[in-house]
Amino acid sequence: MKLTLSSKLFVAVQALCTFAVLAMGFAAYLSFTHGFLGYLNDQAVERLRSTLPRFEQAWTAHGDWEYLRNNGHGWFELIRPEPPAGKTTFYPGTPPISDLTGAILRFTLLDSQKHYVAGYTAFDRQAVLVPIAHDDQVVGWLAMTPFETVSATGDSRFQLNQIRSSLLIGLICLLISAVIAWWITHQLLQPVKRVALATRRLAAGDYSTVLPETGNDEAAQLARDFNGMAATLASNEQQRRGFMADISHELRTPLAILRAELEAIEDGIRVMDGPALRSLQGEVMALSKLVDDLFELSLAELGGPAYRRDPVDIGALLGMAVDAYATRFAERQLSLHLQGWPQPLLVLGDDAKLVQLFYNLLENSLRYTDAGGAVNLRMGRFDDQVCIDFQDSAPGVPLEQQKRLFERFYRVENSRSRSSGGAGLGLAICRGIAQVHGGELSAQSSPFGGLWLTLRLPALEEQA
């Protein structure tokens, strides 16, 4: 039979409680049994000592113990219990406990040589001996053979009642422990059951599942972690759907143009000449560029397992990129300024990917800076980071849109036309490359009226 987690926990807690109750009951039984017998023996010894004055008086009166041999009445007169102080007779229930338990039947009188005189005949070496003195000389011994088991009817009944009470208390404790074990099982496993049910709903695609976050214990922390995971999955699912929609939209436009061009050529509306081929080639190149960008973006988001990790001078790489774009900036009537750094700026990374990052940033400034403007680049080292700033002139980007610049397929409203804007993947690829290298890319408003992009990468100490 397959046991549930609730059953296992209940059995474990109940077994522990049962073992504790049984162990305590057994220990109490042993303690009571031995302690009760010891108590009876102590009472008997006290009863024995209380008769010493009578035996001393009897020795003084007779000078020996011979008169007690075979004299049951005389023996009883010596060991009989005394009435309570101020009383001449016993009331019911007043005799000492030792007399009620039959301890006087275990009393023995021995002479000075410890030879039997009267009383209990089966005394042994375990007997408790009390000397009888006369004129500072031992004239005899009183012996009490201790109890080894409870034999009196009253004592046995008392012991049996104690055992029954102990069993009843044990059963009540087991019942209470069962209730407590059930409550603990319910309280501990209820959050787990809720998480299990919510996990099944989450696996079925219900990303709106939310667990209550009550308290500050581990169960509440588990609920918070689950809700965070559900929110992340919901966000990822939303991004996935948006990503697929964006890809479909970006692919639909060039494919629609290609289809229209080919149908026009097939129907004879358009002649297959150089301009038609160049138009088709342009759309194919746009598709190819989109696929390449998607591939680069996937590499960056997956962590770039093929990225190299070599010490590179990022300042030299940026200088190469600026030189490569100088002609294109001049054609657009844009000034390009680079403020260098007197020392090498070393980072650990892939030089090809870093050059691609710089190309994308320069391409972004080239596309979205108005003619006659300027692009200012500044690099330097601050503490353990290499910082590179890209500051261009108007037009700027509204503050509420700056945080979305690095989203896939996101384009600012004034650059959505395909003539000036791309697919909206360039800055997303740049941030991915920066993150793979352990850095970050952020955006803010430029003091020149445009966009200010800041790249930060971990600096590498120059090897001596």
Encode pLDDT of 416-429 as tens digits: 334 455 566 778 88
Q: Which of 119-123, 248-252, 388-392, 446-450 has the lowest mean pLDDT?
A: 248-252
Domains 218-302 and 310-458 share a fold: no
Domain ranges of the chain: 5-144, 218-302, 310-458
> How far apart (Å, rounded) are the C-alpha atoms in residues 121 and 109?
9
Integer Cα distance of 377 and 380 in angstroms: 10
Q: Which amino acid is at 210?
A: V
Among 89-103, 263-277, 283-297, 369-383, the minimum mean pLDDT is found in 89-103
Q: Which of 301-310, 357-366, 445-454 has the lowest mean pLDDT?
A: 301-310
Q: At residue 161, does pLDDT exceed 90? A: no
Q: What is the pTM of this model?
A: 0.48
Bridge partners for 108 per DSSP? 119, 143
Architecture of domain 310-458: 2-Layer Sandwich (3.30)
In this model, does residue 298 exceed pLDDT 90? Answer: no
The bridge status of strand 374-382 relative to strand 335-339 is parallel
Q: Is 409 exposed, middle or buried (0-12, 13-18, 19+ CB in 10 A)?
A: middle
Q: List, edge to edge, every strand of the sheet that includes 137-144.
A: 116-119, 107-111, 137-144, 128-134
Cα–Cα distance, 398 to 177 (Å, whole number): 67
CATH number of 218-302: 1.10.287.130
423 burial via Cβ count (<10 Å: 0-12, 13-18, 19+): buried
Q: How far apart are CA 190 and CA 6, in angstroms?
A: 9
Alpha-carbon span 405 to 445, nearest angstrom: 12
Q: Give the model's confidence band at 415: pLDDT under 50 very low, under 70 low, under 90 confident, else very high.
A: very low
